[in-house]
């Protein structure tokens, strides 16, 4: 076993002494050493229930014949970090998490890993580490939150709190209703209830084959989730004994399966960044065009929040990810999974319990999947949009640019009523380098939606969006402004054309005018003088390559 390096031989007497100091019995020393990585924290709703799941993972590891060692990684709640400087740390935390898992695992030579995670950057960070280390690994996502409830109506975080800001500003709701929404929208533990980034990544992870069936959708605090945690702990020992590693599971076919499920669910645009980064760690090349190619041939069959009406609990009760795979069985490829069953075997036993939540292909909400990749003179390196959350009216839109160099200025203008029908809000210097950290723009997009401007105002940015964003919002514009991208030379009043069916994003000025403006352009430098963000801004690559760190 890999852990023999720290526990076998005369030269390891000191090592064994230190291990015995932890309380491990001598009888357990010959068993596989399993690292259990937990992102438990008191400040993220999706993670506050993990102490309970840790117990059941631990029981499973012991039952399977292994010995568990717990260690932690940091977690950031994107909702709490949203709309201020804290969001600069969200995407960069993904790289920290991957590095921490790699560091602790390699230093102690664990034989296998159980990765207990849930929210936006934590799940991809752990999967990146699993791919990089390539030792037997299994992922347990802690589960989605139950829907909130108020006056006979189900609630979710984004649609009923972030968008409530715009409704309140417009006078559509009063102080009492706003206060009630604050208290009721999120009733307890779990990742936020819609197909936002956390739940999208959980679904991607299960579709990749890195979680056992129903892990993605089984609700937090449920007994089913406890059993999944136990079985995952037990199963990791088998994976160690059989030497089934992430590289044997996360193949190109598995990534394409996961992308197709993502498209069918209308998932978060952030998955483009995360799937690309995870694939890179296991040596699988995924160009941006892969997402667009698969989107064009994958129907959108589940109308999930924020663009639709269904919650994660609805998806789970309708058959979960196995049922989605079953609907897509004509295009899904057979791959290996951590549970020991192939994808096709999982499909054979899947049951679709609700034809409205998980529609037949011939009754799909849209013929194409949730995400589209746009290019044009404004985004020669690509841009990303959640097309499943856009009304037909806004699929082709030409508008007048209203330009801001940070999200705070844009949000103030939106709240002050300065953004009106026919505008294209441009928020720049929010990319991986320019932010730095590529902040999410959920407060701005949700306020536009709450004020009823979704069908008359578009937003583009070199930053990114929450999975909760809906409407004509285009992110990941590459090259970003800080790299000299065309988004950096857009002026107020410029005309911008968005054509999603044709996959185009264009600034409607001449090439000569673009060249003249670029010759006069100077970057806007933000005052990041020290610390992690300064290092990150120097090393991070563009959104088009997953916003990963340069190795040289």
Residue 526's pLDDT is what? 76
Domain termination site, one of 319, 349, 379 = 349
Please check whether residues 57 and 115 belong to one and the same domain. yes
Please check whether residues 422 and 495 belong to one and the same domain. yes
| Distance separating alpha carbons of residues 515 and 196, to the nearest angstrom | 39
Domain termination site, one of 168, 184, 200 = 184
Please check whether residues 154 and 204 belong to one and the same domain. no
Residue 373's pLDDT is what? 97
Residue 530's pLDDT is what? 86
Q: Which residues are within 8 A (CB) of 79 and not within 5 positions of it... i.e. 6 or more apart?
A: 157, 192
**Assigned domain for 5 exists:** no
Residue 529's pLDDT is what? 75
Indicate if the alpha-carbon torsion angle 335, 339, 341, 343 is positive or negative: negative
| Distance separating alpha carbons of residues 357 and 349, to the nearest angstrom | 19
Please check whether residues 219 and 103 belong to one and the same domain. yes
Check 466, 478, 537, 542 and give the catalytic one: 466
| Distance separating alpha carbons of residues 545 and 280, to the nearest angstrom | 9
Based on the structure, what is the number of domains in the chain?
3
Please check whether residues 99 and 157 belong to one and the same domain. no
**Assigned domain for 383 exists:** yes
Residue 324's pLDDT is what? 98
Please check whether residues 232 and 379 belong to one and the same domain. no
In the block, residue with structure tokens 């004994």: 241
**Assigned domain for 474 exists:** yes
**Assigned domain for 81 exists:** yes
Residue 163: φ, ψ to 5°: -75, -20
Give how far Cα 159 sits from Cα of 165, 186, 410, 449, 491, Å: 10, 11, 20, 9, 32
54: CATH: 3.40.50.2300
Instruction: Give the SS3 label for residue 340.
Output: coil
Please check whether residues 197 and 254 belong to one and the same domain. yes
CB 114 within 8 A of CB 34: yes
In the block, residue with structure tokens 């950031």: 76
CB-hemisphere CA count at 13 Å for 276? Answer: 20
**Assigned domain for 359 exists:** no
Active site residue 466: yes
| Distance separating alpha carbons of residues 402 and 89, to the nearest angstrom | 27
**Assigned domain for 356 exists:** no
pTM: 0.96
In the block, residue with structure tokens 């849930």: 118
Please check whether residues 243 and 296 belong to one and the same domain. yes
Residue 433's pLDDT is what? 94
Please check whether residues 532 and 432 belong to one and the same domain. yes
**Assigned domain for 20 exists:** no
Which H or E element spans position 202? helix 197-208
519: CATH: 3.50.30.80
Please check whether residues 257 and 312 belong to one and the same domain. yes
Residue 336's pLDDT is what? 98
> What averages of pLDDT result for each successive group of 10 residues across the chain (552 residues)?
97 98 98 98 98 98 98 97 93 98 98 98 98 98 97 94 90 96 97 96 98 98 98 98 98 98 97 97 95 97 95 98 98 98 98 98 97 97 95 96 96 95 97 95 91 95 91 95 97 98 98 97 83 94 92 76
Please check whether residues 173 and 230 belong to one and the same domain. no
Residue 533's pLDDT is what? 94
Q: Which residues form the domain of 492?
A: 371-545
Please check whether residues 427 and 282 belong to one and the same domain. no
**Assigned domain for 290 exists:** yes
Residue 126's pLDDT is what? 98
Q: Which residues are within 8 A (CB) of 307 and not within 5 positions of it... i.e. 6 or more apart?
A: 266, 386, 388, 389, 390, 470
- 394 CB neighbour count, 10 Å cutoff: 18
């Amino acid at each position: 076993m890999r852990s023999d390096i720290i526990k076998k031989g005369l030269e390891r007497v000191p090592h064994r002494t230190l291990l015995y100091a932890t309380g491990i019995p001598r009888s357990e020393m010959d068993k596989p050493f399993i690292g259990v990585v937990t992102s438990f924290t008191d400040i993220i709703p999706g993670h506050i229930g993990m102490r309970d799941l840790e117990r059941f993972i631990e029981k499973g590891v012991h039952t399977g014949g292994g010995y568990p060692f717990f260690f932690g990684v940091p977690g950031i709640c994107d909702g709490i970090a949203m709309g201020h400087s804290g969001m600069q740390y969200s995407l960069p935390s993904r790289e920290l998490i991957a590095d921490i898992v790699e560091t602790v695992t390699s230093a102690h030579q664990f034989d296998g890993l159980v990765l207990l995670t849930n929210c936006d950057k934590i799940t991809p960070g752990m999967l990146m580490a699993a791919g990089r280390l390539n030792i037997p690994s299994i992922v347990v996502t802690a589960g989605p939150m139950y829907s909130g409830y108020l006056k006979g109506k189900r609630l979710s975080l984004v649609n009923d709190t972030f968008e409530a800001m715009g409704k309140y500003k417009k006078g559509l709701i009063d102080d009492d209703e706003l206060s009630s929404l604050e208290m009721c929208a999120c009733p307890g533990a779990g990742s936020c209830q819609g197909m936002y980034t956390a739940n999208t990544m959980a679904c991607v992870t299960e579709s990749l084959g890195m979680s056992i069936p129903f892990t993605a959708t089984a609700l937090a605090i449920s007994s089913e989730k406890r059993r999944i945690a136990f079985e995952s702990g037990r199963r990791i020992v088998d994976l160690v004994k059989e030497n089934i590693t992430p590289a044997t599971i996360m193949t190109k076919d598995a990534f394409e399966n996961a992308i197709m499920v993502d498209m069918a669910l209308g998932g978060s645009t952030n998955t483009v960044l995360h799937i690309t980064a995870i694939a890179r760690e296991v040596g699988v090349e995924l160009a941006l065009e892969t997402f667009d190619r698969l989107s064009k041939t994958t129907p959108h069959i589940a109308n999930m929040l924020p663009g639709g009406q269904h919650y994660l609990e609805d998806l789970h009760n309708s058959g979960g990810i196995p049922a989605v795979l079953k609907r897509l069985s004509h295009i899904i490829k057979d791959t290996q999974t951590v549970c020991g069953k192939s994808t096709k075997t999982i499909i054979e036993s899947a049951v679709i319990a609700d034809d409205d939540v998980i529609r037949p292909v011939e009754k799909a909400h849209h013929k194409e999947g949730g995400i589209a990749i746009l290019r044009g003179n404004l985004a020669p390196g690509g841009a990303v949009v959640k097309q499943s959350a856009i009304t037909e009216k806004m699929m082709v839109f030409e508008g007048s640019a209203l330009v801001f160099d940070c999200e705070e200025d844009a949000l103030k203008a939106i709240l002050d009523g300065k953004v009106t029908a026919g505008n294209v809000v441009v928020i720049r210097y929010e990319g991986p380098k320019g932010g730095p950290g590529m902040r999410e723009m959920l407060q701005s997009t949700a306020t536009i939606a709450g004020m009823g401007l979704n069908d008359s105002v578009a937003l583009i940015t070199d930053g990114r969006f929450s999975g909760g964003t809906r409407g004509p919002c285009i992110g990941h514009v590459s090259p970003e402004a800080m790299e000299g991208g065309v988004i950096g030379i857009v002026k107020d009043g410029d005309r911008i054309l968005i054509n999603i069916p044709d996959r185009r994003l264009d600034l409607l000025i001449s090439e000569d005018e673009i060249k003249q403006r670029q010759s006069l352009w100077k970057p806007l430098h933000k005052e990041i003088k020290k610390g992690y963000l300064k290092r990150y801004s120097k090393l991070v690559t563009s959104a088009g390559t997953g916003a990963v760190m340069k190795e040289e």
